[in-house]
């Protein structure tokens, strides 16, 4: 019998959001407005070239991202979604016995990717639904190789502010890689959630992670990237699966970066609906933290699965984290209305 790594035997697989034909899907934090116009038009003309390999180095995309952020291309690495980039970063610095610190609960791929890379996960409990940076700093040992800070945090939608993040980064030893995961950066109020790239981009042990899956509406094409010191990025690129970023994804991302006004318009609509959903849920008696992402978090504890089942039975899919809470993506106005109606009908079950 083939010997399998013991660390993988009991590892829980990543659970994607459910897809049910005809249901309203508010479980995967996707953009509800479809492809950006220029992206849709261009992709229709590119299918004839898909029999060829894509540019493995993604040269044009790296230049576009570098121009977008005002950095040099040697500071950017790409991957098939930010999840693959997380894995690349882990494979760059992790080794058997190496520890990886992150909040619990935060992005559920962190412990999975850590185990796959051979590292040891060190989850640190949240405090009031927010990552406890003081406790995370205290959890760092001589074996720590990487720390994830998801800001705003997935699935709780909560941010850590500039002063707390600055104090944390100053406290982390220079040999530990700090990965600030800003997958939901575009939805955050800049006066509340700091731009880690602008503030800490010159730190040699800080890497900032971004994605095209959310505000840029390219979840199905799988493309993410990170920005960091050239010395780290050169090693991160070595860990990428060859040709993992397709030609379609590269072209779509380049075009999406040029759609500033449309992306901003869509984000504004989502934020407006986020505030509406938050306001109406609170009026119904739900206690939820203020969101800085394109979803809200309902800390329903032991009622989480029952609430999600109630929604599913009535054609709306939300994401339950058993025993903890429910994450609800902000969709189109009519989709949000459908969810709010179900939230109101379920309310007597917990009051």
Q: Which segments within 63-202 are labelled E, that is strand?
A: 76-79, 99-104, 120-125, 144-150, 177-181
User: What's the pLDDT score for residue 46?
Assistant: 79
Residue 300 pLDDT > 60? yes
Asked whether the predicted pLDDT for residue 163 surpasses 90, the reply is yes
Indicate the pTM of the whole model: 0.93
Asked if residue 344 has pLDDT above 70, the reply is: yes
Residues of the chain with pLDDT > 90, as a percent, come to 87
Specify the CATH number for the domain of residue 291: 3.90.1150.10
Q: Does residue 351 carry a pLDDT above 70?
A: no
Strand order in the sheet with 325-329: 295-298, 325-329, 319-321
Whether 1 is in a domain gets the answer: no
Q: Examine the domain organization and report whether 55 and 196 are in the same domain.
A: yes
Does residue 93 sit in the same domain as residue 56? yes
| Claim to verify: residue 199 and residue 109 sit in the same structural domain | yes
pLDDT at 150: 98
pLDDT at 72: 98
Boundary (domain end) residue, out of 257, 272, 293: 257
**Do residue 235 and residue 305 come from a single domain?**
no
pLDDT at 8: 60
112 and 251 belong to one structural domain: yes
pLDDT tens, position by position, 78-101: 999 999 999 999 999 998 889 999
Q: Of 223, 257, 291, which marks where a domain is finished?
A: 257
**To the nearest whole number, what is the mean pLDDT of the chain?**
93
Report if residue 248 sits inside a domain. Answer: yes
Query: Would 215 be classed as within a structural domain?
Result: yes
Phi-psi category of 180—alpha, beta or left, where left has phi over 0 and alpha has psi -120 to 50? beta
Question: By residue range, what is the domain housing residue 54?
Answer: 37-257
CATH code, domain with 54: 3.40.640.10
Query: Are 202 and 317 in a shared domain?
Result: no
Last residue of a domain, one of 257, 290, 323: 257
Give the count of domains, the chain.
Answer: 2
Residue 61 covered by a domain? yes
54 and 30 belong to one structural domain: no
CA distance 45 to 328: 35
Q: CA angle at residue 209 from 137 to 268, to 5 degrees?
A: 110
Place 4 in a pLDDT band, splitting at 50, 70 and 90.
very low
Sign of CA dihedral 158, 197, 270, 320: negative
Q: What does the pLDDT read at residue 6?
A: 66
Whether the predicted pLDDT of 52 surpasses 80: yes
- Average the pLDDT over 297-305 and give the result: 97
What confidence score (pLDDT) does residue 21 get? 78
pLDDT of residue 154 exceeding 50, the answer is: yes
pLDDT over 50 (residue 348)? no
Q: Are residues 248 and 322 in the same domain?
A: no
Rounded-to-integer distance, Cα 350 and Cα 340, Å: 16
Within a domain: 47? yes
Are 104 and 190 part of one and the same domain?
Answer: yes
């Amino acid at each position: 019998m083939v010997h399998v790594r013991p660390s993988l035997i009991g590892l829980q697989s990543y659970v994607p959001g459910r897809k049910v034909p005809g249901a309203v899907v508010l479980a995967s934090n996707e953009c509800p407005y479809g492809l950006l116009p220029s992206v849709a038009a261009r992709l229709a003309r590119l299918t004839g070239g898909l029999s060829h390999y894509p540019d493995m180095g993604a040269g044009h995309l790296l230049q576009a991202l570098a121009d977008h952020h005002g950095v040099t291309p040697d500071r950017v690495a790409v991957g098939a979604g930010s999840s693959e980039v997380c894995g690349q970063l882990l494979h760059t610095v992790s080794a058997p016995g190496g520890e990886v610190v992150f909040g619990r609960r935060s992005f559920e791929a962190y412990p999975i990717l850590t185990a796959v890379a051979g590292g040891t996960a060190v989850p640190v409990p949240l405090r009031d639904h927010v990552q406890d940076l003081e406790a995370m700093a205290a959890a760092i040992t001589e074996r720590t190789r990487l720390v994830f800070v998801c800001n705003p945090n997935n699935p709780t939608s909560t941010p850590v502010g500039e002063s707390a993040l600055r104090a944390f980064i100053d406290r982390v030893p220079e040999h530990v890689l700090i990965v600030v995961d800003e997958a939901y950066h575009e939805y955050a109020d800049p006066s509340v959630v700091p731009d880690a790239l602008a503030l800490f981009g010159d730190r040699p042990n800080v890497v900032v992670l971004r994605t095209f899956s959310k505000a840029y509406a390219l979840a199905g094409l799988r493309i993410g990237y990170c920005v960091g010191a050239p010395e780290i990025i050169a090693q991160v690129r070595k860990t990428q699966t060859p040709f993992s970023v397709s030609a379609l994804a590269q072209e779509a991302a380049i075009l999406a970066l040029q759609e500033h006004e449309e992306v901003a318009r869509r984000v504004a609509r989502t934020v407006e609906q986020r505030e509406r959903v938050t306001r109406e849920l609170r009026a119904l008696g739900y206690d939820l933290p203020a969101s800085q992402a394109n979803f809200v978090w309902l800390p329903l504890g032991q009622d989480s699965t029952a609430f999600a089942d109630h929604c599913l039975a009535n054609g709306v899919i939300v994401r339950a984290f058993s025993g903890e809470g429910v994450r609800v993506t902000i969709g189109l106005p009519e989709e949000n209305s459908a969810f709010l109606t179900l939230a109101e009908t379920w309310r007597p079950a917990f009051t």
